[in-house]
Amino acid sequence: MPKLSGVIETALYVDDLDRARAFYTDVLGLEPLTSDSRFMAFDIGGRNVLLLFRRGATLETVHLPGGTIPPHDGSGPIHAAFAIAADELLAWEKRLGEHDVAIEGRTDWPRGGKSIYFRDPDNHLLELVTPGVWAIY
């Protein structure tokens, strides 16, 4: 059986790309990789890509020189978790506070990891997690 080796992209759908870009660059410090009128891609740790699509902007097939991308879209609040170092949790809490981002929840996991939860401007539930949450992380 062939095996999957990782998750490369995670997609969130947003109502306002400019507002989302400001949040993800200014608050979370992410670096944009590329963008157009439909979407924006961010580097996550040099290993993964966070895609932000303008809601409703990807309902038609996209034709590229190398092939096509089928239509897709999403609605409602989605959940995404981002890995952080254990010794950076307090710094993240401070940074979120400085940007008036409320922490909605905290969890101390049985394996020793910690999570904090907050929302982006499109009401997606974001989580910052330290090692010790999963058997693999």
Predicted pLDDT of residue 17: 97
- Residue 4: pLDDT band (50, 70, 90) is confident
- Edge-to-edge strands, sheet with 31-35: 9-14, 48-54, 39-44, 31-35
Q: Kindly state the percentage of the chain with pLDDT values over 70.
A: 100
Digit-coded pLDDT (tens) for 58-97: 999 999 999 999 999 999 999 999 999 999 999 999 999 9
Digit-coded pLDDT (tens) for 84-93: 999 999 999 9
Predicted pLDDT of residue 49: 98
Count the domains in the chain.
2
Digit-coded pLDDT (tens) for 108-135: 999 999 999 999 999 999 999 999 999 9
Direct distance between the N- and C-terminal alpha carbons of the chain, in angstroms, rounded to an integer: 25
Which residues constitute the domain of residue 125? 77-137
The pTM for the full model equals 0.94
Say whether both 96 and 44 belong to one domain.
no
Domain boundary residue, one of 40, 60, 75: 75
Beta strands in 55-113 (DSSP E): 62-64, 67-69, 79-83, 105-108
What values do phi and psi take at 10, rounded to 5? -125, 135
Say whether both 21 and 87 belong to one domain.
no
